[in-house]
Structure 1
C-alpha cells in the first residue's frame, strides 16, 4: 500500500500556466458576474419601499433595470463557466497523464509491491475527484469568495456599525467549518483507502472466479467481500455523518445571525443611523451572502476530500523510478549477442542479496538454460539483462558494452522477452505483434511466420485485422504464446529471453509453440528459464542456480555424469543419462 504524503493544490498551479489567456478571459467574466451583486442589492433597496408606497413608475423602472442586470450577470456567468471549465479539465488530464507516465518508470521492485486495484482507483476515481475540486475552485469557490468580499464591502459602506455586528458571527462559523473540514478530510482518507482495498479484492476475485468455483470456495470469497463492503460502508457513513451534522449547525448559526441583524437594524433605524431604503438594501445584500457561504462550506469539505485524493496520487511520485540513462550513453549498434557477467551481486533489499557473485559468459548464438528452485535468482538475472534493475556489484555486458552505459530503450530493442504467461493488450492481431513499434505489414507477417503463428492468424475471419478481446479470452493459450513470440522477434533482437514459455500448455499447443521457438531462436543468443528439464537437454550451457549462486554448469551429459544437483533434479523428472 502506498503511503499518502501531504500535497497541496498549489503544486498544480504550474499546470495552469499554458491556459493564462483563457483564465484571464474567464476572470473578466467572473468580475462582471460578482460586480452585479451590489448593484442588485441597491436596486432591491429602491424597489421594496416603492412597492410599499405603491409607486408604480419606480417599481417598473427598478424591475426593468434589475432584469437588465440579471441578463448581464447570467451571460457573464455562462462565459465564466465555459471559459474556466477547459483549463480545469486540462489540469486533471495532465495530472492523470503524468502520473501514468510515472507509473511506467517505477522500479519493478516497487511496482510489484503495489495493488493493481488500488492503483486503478487512484488513477480513475481519485484523479476525477481532484479534477472536480480544481473546477469548482476556479468556477465556483473563487467567485463565491469574491461575492462575499464585494457584498460585505457594500454592507460596510451602507452602515458600518450594523456590518460590524454581522461580522462578529463570522469567526465562529469559520472555526466550525475548519474543524469539520479537518475531520472530513481524515474520514475521507479512510474511506478512500477502504475503496482501494475493495477494488483490489474485486480485481483478484474477477480474475480468479474459475479457481474459486473449482474449489467450491464461493462462501469464503463472499464472506471476504461482505467484510470489505461492510468496512467501506462504515468508513463512508462516518464521512456522511460529519457532513450531515455540519449542515444544520452552520445553518442554525446563519439563521441566528440574520435574526440578530434584523433586531440590530430596527435599532439603527430608530436611532436614525439608517433609512428604510438603506436597510432594505442591507437585508438584500445579507441574503446574497447566504448562497456564497453555503457554496464555500460545501466546497471546503470537497476540497478536503480532494486533498486526500491528491495526497494518494502524489504518493505514486514518491516511489523510486528506474535510474535514467547516462548523460552520454554508448551506441550499441548491431548486436552479436555476447553476454558477460562478472562478479554480479544484486538484492531488492541490500541486506538480502538475490544474486551473489555470479560469473557467466555466453557466446553469440549459444543456448543457455537456467535451472533451479524458485527464488534461486533466475528471473532476477533476466531483470538485470533487461536493465529493469542494476547490479549493485560487478558488471553486466553485452558485446563488450556495460549495460549501465547504454540507452535502456536501445538495449531492450536488442534483448527481447517471451514471458511464461503471455499477456496481450486488446486490439488487432497486427497491433499485438507490433506492440507500439513502427512495423510494416510485411515485417509483422514475417515475425508471425517465425513464431509459427501465421497459419492460425490467416485462418481467422479478418486475418491480422481480427480483434483480440480483453485478456485474450477469444484465443487459446498456445495461440497467445505464439503471438508473444512473434512480438519478441519483431525487430530482429540479438538476444532472446524465454521464461519457460511452454510450461502452461497442453501437448498439442506445446508442439506448435516449440516449433515457433525453434524458428525464432535460430541465429540468436537465447537464455531460457527451465522448470521442465526435458526441454533444455540440447542447451550449450546449463546453469544450476541455488540461493543466488551458480552451483553447477555444463551441458546435459557433463552434468549428468557429474552426479550433482542437476542429475538429482533430472531424476525427479524421470530423465536419465541416455536421454
Structure 2
C-alpha cells in the first residue's frame, strides 16, 4: 500500500514540444493522409465507466482514502447516535424527568460532537488531499501527453483550448473526485444510518417515507443526465472563451489600428453569454430539482406525521420515539437534497474527465525505432517523398528526391506555400511522409528512436521559441552544460556583446518568449542554443527573414560559424543569403522544379533566376 503522500509521476517525454509549420497550433485528426488510419470508433464510455476510471487515479492515495472513509462512517454514526438521544432526552428529560439525565445527556452530546469534529477533520482533509493530488497527476499526465502527440494535433486545436483543458477541466475533476465523492458517501451513510434507526423505531412510520423515495430517485436520475449534457457545452464554451481572449490580447496592436475593439468585444460577449446561459441552465435545473426533492420530502414528512399520530393513539409510539423519528427525518432531508445537488458537480466532473481521458487515449507519435545512434554522420537522402495533410486540398510535397551530404549547405527556395517548411519539418519527424522515404546515414528515419533522431538536429526558425527564464537557461535548454560552454556558445553566436550589458548577464530573465529582447537578440540566442547543442544536422528555417540589416549581418556571421562540418538545410527567403550554398533546391507548388548551384540556376534562366531578378529589382528586399 502506498503511503499517503506517494504518487507515481507520469513519464516525461524525451523531447520538447514540436512546433507545426508556420507556427500553427492543432488536432490529432489533422495528420498526413498517409498515416495509419485510426481504429474504428468505439461507443463512448458511460458516465459510470468514466467515473470509475477517474476513481482509479486515487489508488496511490488509498491510505488517505481509508482514513477519510473511516471518518465518514464515524461522522454518520455520531449523527445517528445524536438522533437516538432524542428519545431519552424527551421521555426522561421532559415527559418523566430523571435527575441523572441532567449530567448524562449533556456529557453524551459533548462527547458525540467532539468525536464527530475529529472525524469531520479527517474526512475533509483526506478527501481534499486525494482530490487535489489526483488533479495534479492528471495535469502532469495531460501536459506530458500533449508533448508526445503528433505535430498535426497542434494544427487544428488552439493552444488556449488545450490550456483550458489543463486548468478548467482538471478543476472540475477535483470536484468530482473529492467533493462529490464525499457528499455521496457521507450523506449516503447518514441516510442509511438514520433510515435504519427509523425502521428500528417504527416500521409503519418508516414505510410511509419509503413510498416517496422512488420519486426522489427518478428526479436524481433525470437531473444527472441533464447536468452531464450541459456540462459538456460549458467546458467547450470555456475553451472558446479563452481562445477568443488570447487572440484579442495577443493581437492588441492590430485590433487598435483597425479600430476593431468593438468587434472583438462583441465576439467575446457572445461567447461569454453562451457560457452564462449554459451555467444558468445548470442552476435552474439544480434549483428546480432541489425544490422538488424538498416538496417530496415534505410529503413524506406529512405522511409520517399522519401515521405516527395513529400509532400513538394505538399506544405503539411514545413521545420520545416520535421526536426521534421526526429528528431522523429532518436529518435525512438535507442529505437527500445534497445528494440531488451533487449531480451538478458530478456531471461537470465526468464531462471534464471524458475530455481529459480522450487526450490521454489519443494516439502518440510513432516511436517504434530501435536503431540507436549517439551521433550520426548526417547524410540525408529524400527518395520520391510526398506529403499530403489530412485537411489539405492537395499535396504539400510531391515526388521530392535529393541528397544532402555531410559538411554541405542545401538551400531550399520558392514562393510562399511551395512546401519549403513542410520539407524540413519531415526531418525531425514532426510529420510523416505520405509516400517515399527519408534516410539518415542510409537508415530510414522511422527506424531511429525519436529521442535519438532529434538529438542529431538543431533547428533555428524565423519564430524563435524562448522561455520565461534566464539567458543561460534558454541557451542550455534541454541539456546540462557548464557555464563556460554556455558563454562560449553565446560568444560564437555574436550574442555576448548584448548579454554582458544585461543587468545580471547570463542570469537575466528575458520574459515570456524573450519579450525583453529585440528580434535580432532573440535570434542570436537561438543560434547560441544550436551551437551548444552541436548537432550534426542544422535546419535554418528563414532564420533572418524578419531582421533588420544590422541584425541580419550579426546573425549571418554567427551562422557561418555554426554551419561548417554539418549537414545544413536552409529555407531562404532572401536569395542573397544563399549564394554560396553547395546546392539550391527550387520548389513550386510542392514539387522540386530546379536543382543546382546559385550560378547554374541563374544561367538556366528558370524560376530561380526569375525570383532572383525580382528581389534585386526591388533593391534586394523580398
TM-score by length of 2: 0.88
Is 1:173 the equivalent of 2:216?
yes
Indicate if the aligned counterparts of 1:47 and 1:59 stay in contact, CA closer than 8 A. no
Tell me which residue corresponds to 2:377. Answer: 336
Tell me which residue corresponds to 2:253. Answer: 210
Indicate if the aligned counterparts of 1:452 and 1:513 stay in contact, CA closer than 8 A. yes
Match of 1:396 among 431, 435, 438: 438
In 2: Cα distance, 1:298 partner to 1:183 partner: 12
In 2: Cα distance, 1:506 partner to 1:215 partner: 25
Shift in Å, 1:201: 0.6
Per the alignment, do residues 285 and 244 of structure 1 end up closer, same or farther by CA in structure 2, a change over 3 Å counting? Answer: closer
Q: Secondary structure at the match of 1:284?
A: helix
Q: Secondary structure at the match of 1:371?
A: strand
Indicate if the aligned counterparts of 1:542 and 1:553 stay in contact, CA closer than 8 A. yes
> C-alpha offsets along residues 354-413 of structure 1, whole Å, 9 cap, x if unaligned?
222211101111111111223322222222100112223322112222211112112111
Per the alignment, do residues 215 and 385 of structure 1 end up closer, same or farther by CA in structure 2, a change over 3 Å counting? Answer: same
In 1: Cα distance, 2:471 partner to 2:359 partner: 33
Shift in Å, 1:334: 2.8
In 2: Cα distance, 1:83 partner to 1:468 partner: 41
Unpaired segments ≥5 residues, structure 1: none
Tell me which residue corresponds to 1:501. Answer: 543
Shift in Å, 1:137: 3.3
In 1: Cα distance, 2:361 partner to 2:374 partner: 35
How do 1:63-74 and structure 2 match up within 5 A? 63-74=106-117
Is 1:472 the equivalent of 2:514?
yes
Indicate if the aligned counterparts of 2:82 and 2:112 stay in contact, CA closer than 8 A. yes
How do 1:237-248 and structure 2 match up within 5 A? 237-248=280-291
- Runs of 4 or more off by more than 6 Å in structure 1? 1-4
> C-alpha offsets along residues 267-288 of structure 1, whole Å, 9 cap, x if unaligned?
1212233222222221121122
Deviates more, 1:17-26 or 1:492-501: 17-26
> C-alpha offsets along residues 188-221 of structure 1, whole Å, 9 cap, x if unaligned?
2222222211110111111100111222322322
Deviates more, 1:279-288 or 1:91-100: 279-288
Tell me which residue corresponds to 1:10. Answer: 52
Indicate if the aligned counterparts of 2:175 and 2:346 stay in contact, CA closer than 8 A. no
> C-alpha offsets along residues 456-512 of structure 1, whole Å, 9 cap, x if unaligned?
111211100001112322111111111111112222111110110111111222222
Tell me which residue corresponds to 2:162. Answer: 119
Indicate if the aligned counterparts of 1:414 and 1:494 stay in contact, CA closer than 8 A. yes
> C-alpha offsets along residues 129-164 of structure 1, whole Å, 9 cap, x if unaligned?
101221113433211111111211121121112111
In 1: Cα distance, 2:472 partner to 2:490 partner: 9
Q: Secondary structure at the match of 1:490?
A: helix
Shift in Å, 1:318: 4.5
Is 1:441 the equivalent of 2:479?
no
* TM-align CA RMSD: 2.1
Is 1:87 the equivalent of 2:139?
no
Match of 1:378 among 420, 423, 428: 420
Shift in Å, 1:169: 0.7
Shift in Å, 1:167: 1.2
Tell me which residue corresponds to 1:354. Answer: 396
Tell me which residue corresponds to 2:410. Answer: 368
Indicate if the aligned counterparts of 1:151 and 1:285 stay in contact, CA closer than 8 A. yes
Q: Secondary structure at the match of 1:216?
A: coil
Q: How many residues align?
A: 575
Tell me which residue corresponds to 1:302. Answer: 345
Is 1:104 the equivalent of 2:104?
no
Q: Secondary structure at the match of 1:497?
A: strand
In 2: Cα distance, 1:169 partner to 1:324 partner: 59
Match of 2:525 among 473, 479, 483: 483
Tell me which residue corresponds to 2:179. Answer: 136
Unpaired segments ≥5 residues, structure 2: 1-25, 30-42
Tell me which residue corresponds to 2:34. Answer: none
In 1: Cα distance, 2:346 partner to 2:480 partner: 44
In 2: Cα distance, 1:5 partner to 1:533 partner: 53
Q: Secondary structure at the match of 2:474?
A: helix
Q: Secondary structure at the match of 1:523?
A: coil
Deviates more, 1:80-89 or 1:362-371: 80-89
In 2: Cα distance, 1:138 partner to 1:242 partner: 21
Q: Secondary structure at the match of 2:244?
A: helix
> C-alpha offsets along residues 91-112 of structure 1, whole Å, 9 cap, x if unaligned?
1111111111111011111222
Indicate if the aligned counterparts of 2:510 and 2:517 stay in contact, CA closer than 8 A. yes
In 1: Cα distance, 2:396 partner to 2:367 partner: 23
In 1: Cα distance, 2:106 partner to 2:210 partner: 30
How do 1:144-183 and structure 2 match up within 5 A? 144-183=187-226
Match of 1:58 among 90, 101, 107: 101
Tell me which residue corresponds to 2:609. Answer: 567
Per the alignment, do residues 26 and 229 of structure 1 end up closer, same or farther by CA in structure 2, a change over 3 Å counting? Answer: closer
Indicate if the aligned counterparts of 2:424 and 2:539 stay in contact, CA closer than 8 A. yes
In 1: Cα distance, 2:291 partner to 2:424 partner: 62
Match of 2:331 among 253, 273, 288: 288
Is 1:252 the equivalent of 2:299?
no
TM-score by length of 1: 0.95
In 2: Cα distance, 1:228 partner to 1:20 partner: 41
Shift in Å, 1:26: 2.5
Shift in Å, 1:123: 0.6
Per the alignment, do residues 535 and 426 of structure 1 end up closer, same or farther by CA in structure 2, a change over 3 Å counting? Answer: same
In 1: Cα distance, 2:363 partner to 2:546 partner: 33
Shift in Å, 1:569: 1.5
Shift in Å, 1:433: 0.9
